[in-house]
Amino acid sequence: MMKIKVKLFAAARELASGSEVVVELSAPATVGQLRAALAREIPPLAPLAERSLAAVNAQYADDADAITPDDEVALIPPVSGG
């Protein structure tokens, strides 16, 4: 198992009650597996996690992209404006 630290912003931070969460995943892991783990571990975050962008080491990432414990991972919710 490996621990992945995920930075949260905007609505995701509010739903998780914090700016960071740590998720345990089996290695090797992908961004998609991380999304699924976030949805399981923080149910209020589930709908938003599906629609949010993910970034790994400051680069947007697809669900198939690999992640490691050394990566900086961020979940970036959609922006709404008016």
Whether 81 has a pLDDT exceeding 70, the answer reads no
Helix, strand and coil content of the chain, in percent to the nearest 5, comes to: 35, 35, 35
Q: Distance between CA 45 and CA 43 in Å, rounded?
A: 5
The DSSP H or E segment spanning 40 is helix 31-41
Q: Determine phi and psi for 31, rounding to 5 degrees.
A: -60, -40
* Banded pLDDT at 80 (limits 50, 70, 90): low
Contact between 49 and 78 under an 8 Å Cβ cutoff? The reply is no
Q: Given pLDDT bands bounded at 50, 70 and 90, which one contains residue 58?
A: very high
Average pLDDT over residues 46-66: 95
Q: Average pLDDT over the chain, rounded to whole? A: 92
All domains of the chain, ordered by start, with CATH? 2-76 (3.10.20.30)
